[in-house]
Amino acid sequence: MTPGTQHGKTLLLYFLAIWLPPALLIAIVTALLVNDQRKQAMQAAVMEQQAEVQTAEKILSERLSGVQTDIVYLADQLQQLDSIPQTTGLFDTFQRHHRQYYQIRLIDAAGQERVRVEWREDHPQALPRQALQDKSYRYYVQQGLQLPLGSVYLSPFDLNVEHGQVETPLRPTIRVVTRTGSNHSLPGALVVINYDGQGLLDALGRLQAPSGAALWLVNSNGYWLHSDQPEQTWGFMLPERSEASLSRQHVRLWSQMIRPDAEQTLITDQATYYFERLELAGAQQAPGENTLGPLYLVSQLTRQQVDSAHSVNAGAFWQAAALVMLLFALLAALLARSIAQRRASETRLGRSESLFRAMIEAAPDAIIITDAEGTITLLNEQAVAMFDYTQDELLGQKVEVLIPAEAATRHVAHREGYARAAQPRPMGMGLSLSGRRKDGSQLPVEISLSPINTAEARLIFCAVRDATERRATERQIRRLNEGLERQNTELQAVNNELEAFSYSVSHDLRAPLRAIDGFSKILQSSLEGSLSERDSDYFNRIRKAAQNMSKLIDDLLTLARVTRADVKLASLNLSRLATAVADRLLENQPERNVTLQIAPDIKVLADPALLQVAMENLLGNAFKFTSTKEKALIEIGCMSKDGETVVFVRDNGVGFDMNYADKLFTPFQRLHSASEFPGTGIGLASIKRVMSKLGGRIWAESSVGEGATFYLQFARIGAEQ
């Protein structure tokens, strides 16, 4: 290296030493200003969120309270009437002035509609007597009949259902029920109002915060009733939207919402959420689950909305900072030249110091060097950034300035003791340490210490690492473990309920079906000879329907048992099991010409009971769908795929269209009519559950008229270890 090059490098090092600290300070201040502006913008947006939610809460409370007031008013007015025509007139007049109620009914204590007035063709219309219906089976009637006088029942906020189907276009509805007093001609009767909730949802939709925050209305089960994305709503009523629920898509938010003592604000990396829980005052709910329950109003403000609604003019700040740093650069260049000329003799020392400085700056951790008395002599920019001080503010200060006040006094004694017998101490060491920033806030840290012995004195080398993320991760892991324990408890409760349901189905539903079948057979036999061909056909249809229902219950119970079954994996001979199943099927159908080709000694890792269910359903289907073939062929074989055992069951039956393969394993989905091939549509769904329980999978390939092949992939033998 030539002397000129060396001199130029020296000038550059002096320039950096002079200019870099103020430049970093300017950068930090500028970043703080920009960050402060952003915080102010964020605070304004959060206040807008809260105002939006509180306004929506006021709208909901006022409108739903108004509904309660209206129905109590109607019930009081009915006390003064003594005939159905007068009641009809009252309902007609009231509905003309309250368009939000699209249906008003009077239902007697037996659940029979006595008056029904509803909006038709833009005016109230009373239905004739023959159009009135028995509503005793509806949940809101049953709930209403349990109400004490003067109480009001509010149904869940859902979609209106007509003739077993969700009404289209969708009609959001709340059913409001109260009872009439003893002075009415129908004492104990129910007044039922169908409240059109679309107006309420439209009112929420008209609320728009300046920041563009989305406003959601969520029911007590975590499903959207109102959202900025309409395709998310009514997931509990519309099967095609069943996966759309806040409780599934925003688990962390939902967990906080349902905790009674939780904060009402949640901030994530993607958005800020504010929510309110609405418990309607004044409504005395009847016992049971079919009630309105609490509603939740949620405001979602994304990071992009904050940036777009409250843009921070960072460019102007940074341009000013760059201009100031440029002026500092000119002054630093002049000063560096003067220093270089005066300290030419110190070139070598300066180069060594610069090299050491560069090494310290390159360290990923904050580096602080002190003397034996704890005075800071050197630190890198990572330390400056970590503690929010400038270099000049820390150099020459006692290291206790970076330690929380409650521990600073004790630290002096620890520091002096370490200086007397200094030994390298790695990070961690099981200590929970904290550092103190310039603004007094604390942060968790890990510290390693090493002594540096020089000719002049002993120095202490400190490497400081921010432990915030690691400790937060540990806390998150603890929270997740606690959540898993809660979920396991809930899952056990669900399994117990399913077991009780299965018991009820097995004992309470099949007995009436056997009675229907048996008595129909007895009645048909006793009337034999006097029945017409059509009457005999009716009896046969009754018995067949009862038998089909019994078969469906059996299949559903099998599916439930498969779902709950405990899996005990073992190495099983599938060939032997398949042969036994096929022999039983041939004994039941001796007239069939069926050729069976079962590969010997197919070994799989499975549960004996679950494998029995799978093979009975697969071979049963193969026999059923080859019944139209004069010569049926059923083949069971085995192959290996990616180290796993794959068993196939192939037949030459009617096959199916692969375009509908996605429906094949869905309960109650059938690709052939019941008149062609009887069945309940549960068998393949049970097989899929079996393979899922065994840790495997099932798929199929087929062509119409050319048979079908079902593949069962099992885990390799030895995986049970």
Number of domains present in the structure of the chain: 3
Q: Using one digit for the tens of pLDDT, what is the confidence trace for 201-219?
A: 998 888 877 778 889 999 9
Residue 266's nearest CA partner among 297, 295, 300 is 300
Q: Which of 466, 492, 522 is the last residue of a domain?
A: 466
Q: Would the CA dihedral through 325, 328, 330, 336 be positive or negative? A: negative
Q: Does 558 lie in the same domain as 570? A: no
Question: Is there a domain that residue 390 lies in?
Answer: yes
Question: Is there a domain that residue 141 lies in?
Answer: no
Q: Does 553 lie in the same domain as 588? A: no
Q: Which of 466, 500, 518 is the last residue of a domain?
A: 466
Q: Does 652 lie in the same domain as 681? A: yes
Helices marked H in 389-467 — which ranges? 391-394, 405-420
Angle value at C-alpha 579, between 575 and 581, nearest 5 degrees: 120
Residue 348: per-residue pLDDT? 59
Q: What is the CATH number of the domain that holds 508?
A: 1.10.287
d(CA 366, CA 466): 9
Q: Does 517 lie in the same domain as 602? A: no
> Phi first, then psi: what are they for 108, rounded to 5°?
-75, 175
Q: Does 704 lie in the same domain as 596? A: yes
Please give the share of the chain, as a percent, with pLDDT higher than 70. Answer: 81
Question: Is there a domain that residue 184 lies in?
Answer: no
Look at residue 433 and tell me whether its pLDDT is greater than 90.
no
Residue 618's nearest CA partner among 593, 587, 596 is 596
Which SS3 state, helix, strand or coil, does residue 238 take?
Answer: coil
> Which whole number is the average pLDDT over 344-358?
67
Instruction: Find which of 165-179, 316-330, 431-445 is predicted with most confidence, using mean pLDDT.
Output: 165-179
For residue 190, what are the β-bridge partners? 107, 179
Q: What is the CATH number of the domain that holds 406?
A: 3.30.450.20
Average pLDDT, the chain: 80
The whole domain housing 681 covers 566-714
Q: Six-digit token pair at 21? A: 């600290």
Look at residue 64 and tell me whether its pLDDT is greater than 70.
yes
Parallel, antiparallel, or unpaired: how do β-strands 172-179 and 165-166 relate? unpaired
d(CA 174, CA 562): 39
Question: Is there a domain that residue 302 lies in?
Answer: no
pLDDT grade for 255, boundaries at 50, 70 and 90: very high
Question: Is there a domain that residue 344 lies in?
Answer: no
Question: Is there a domain that residue 70 lies in?
Answer: no
Q: Using one digit for the tens of pLDDT, what is the confidence trace for 507-537?
A: 555 667 666 766 676 776 777 777 777 767 6
Q: Which of 466, 501, 523 is the last residue of a domain?
A: 466
Question: Is there a domain that residue 352 lies in?
Answer: no
Q: Does 682 lie in the same domain as 579? A: yes
Indicate the burial class of 565 (C-beta count within 10 angstroms; 0-12, 13-18, 19 or more).
Answer: middle
Q: What is the CATH number of the domain that holds 581?
A: 3.30.565.10
Q: Does 710 lie in the same domain as 570? A: yes
Number of H helices, E strands in the chain: 18, 26
Asked if the peptide bond before residue 85 counts as cis, ω within 30 degrees of 0, the response is no
Residue 192's nearest CA partner among 126, 251, 247, 113 is 113
Q: Does 688 lie in the same domain as 633? A: yes
Q: Six-digit token pair at 514? A: 């056997």
Residue 502's nearest CA partner among 553, 557, 549 is 557
Q: Does 433 lie in the same domain as 389? A: yes
> Phi first, then psi: what are they for 175, rounded to 5°?
-95, 125
Q: Would the CA dihedral through 63, 67, 69, 73 be positive or negative? A: positive
Q: What is the pTM of this model?
A: 0.43
Q: Six-digit token pair at 242? A: 């069943």
Residue 708's nearest CA partner among 661, 645, 675, 668 is 661
Look at residue 546 and tell me whether its pLDDT is greater than 60.
no
Residue 639 · residue 609 · CB < 8 Å: no
For 366, 369, 380, 381, 431, the CA distances from 463, given in Å and listed in that order, are 6, 9, 10, 12, 15
Q: Does 702 lie in the same domain as 597? A: yes
